[in-house]
Amino acid sequence: MSEDKLKSLLQQVKYPGFSKDVVTFGLIQNVKVSDGSVELGVKFSSEKEEIRQQILADIEKVLRAGGYDKINIEIIQTSAKPAPGTEEKSAPPSIPGVKNTIAVASGKGGVGKSTVAANLAAALRKQGHTVGILDLDVFGPSLPITMGIHEVPKVLEGNKLQPVRQYDMALMSLGFLLTDSSPVIWRGAMVSKMVSQFLFDVEWGELDYLILDLPPGTGDVQLTLVQQVALTGAVIVTTPQDLALKDVERGANMFEKVNTPVLGIIENMSYHVCTNCGHVSKIFSTGGGDKESLRLQVPLLAKIPLNEEIMKAGENGEPLVIHLPESEAAQMFRDVADKLHELVN
């Protein structure tokens, strides 16, 4: 029963800034319990020192309150291992002037990834950060629609492209360069070249955050991206049903193999609240985001509802965070922005 008691006590220790506890996040390792004493390891990656110290202090506090006199806590420092065969290769470069490059990805289409990316970027900008958005969905660019602008970028000296500006953010998308509704039919090499040009031949300037809206899946764009630029991390967008999880797992595993940290999971279309009676419906089942969060041992950053306001704002070219900043859903995106900023700084 002592191990059950210990687990119950440790579940009182929340990871700073999140509702989940350190047991759920998989931080607790190598537990040994005897009468009045406990030994355990706490697994850290690259968290800020003040967060580490807070977690250690909170663990010791609840254990002492639970009756343990002798407490020995070992810090287990983890680090990403290079993928096999890449140990001698140099790390990809960062984008000049960009502090944090965050990919917003999904295993399958139709999960609202572009809407999440647009609102996350807008939330970061609302918090005072300099922000850019790069739409890398070559075959279905949506940034002109979600941001309500169809301006053609200017070509600067040295054949550099000047980003389009909207809502005080720097924007770039293939959609700004297409002059008609003809489909994009490109082979892999052409896609890879376009990704490289949008990363390094755009005059991004000084940015705190560049949000990358990726196409669904694990195709040429994703592989080119992780090979050519150093990503701060990735955010995976999914829907609640188990059907979406296999695709999510493939996407998350790809980032892990190339040593790009998955910063967290966002479960979109998590539930629907009836605007007439307030009834909550779990339209797409439940638990998908929780399962993937536990599997990857990363935070579930938010459960975003299936919301008519979010949809209308996106179709009208104004992210909800800008259109209805005081709405409950907009606050959810601001909370995600806060959590991401804490995770990467």
Q: The pTM is what?
A: 0.72
pLDDT higher than threshold 70 for residue 19: no
Contact 167, 178 (CB under 8 A): no
Q: What is the mean pLDDT of residues 256-267?
A: 83
Helix axes 49-65, 2-10, angle to 10 degrees: 140
**% the chain with pLDDT above 70:** 83
Contact 186, 178 (CB under 8 A): no
Q: Which helix (H) or strand (E) holds 150?
A: none
pLDDT digits (tens, 9 = 90+) for 135-193: 988 777 889 999 999 888 898 888 888 999 999 999 999 888 876 655 555 555 666 78
229 vs 132, higher pLDDT: 132
206 — pLDDT class (breaks 50, 70, 90): very high
The pLDDT value recorded for residue 333 is: 95
pLDDT digits (tens, 9 = 90+) for 28-45: 888 888 877 888 888 876
Q: Are strands 28-34 and 37-44 parallel, antiparallel or unpaired?
A: antiparallel
**Whole-angstrom Cα distance, residue 262 to residue 191?**
24
Structural domains present in the chain: 2-77 (3.30.300.130), 98-344 (3.40.50.300)
Neighbours of 162 (CB within 10 A): 15
The pLDDT value recorded for residue 85 is: 44
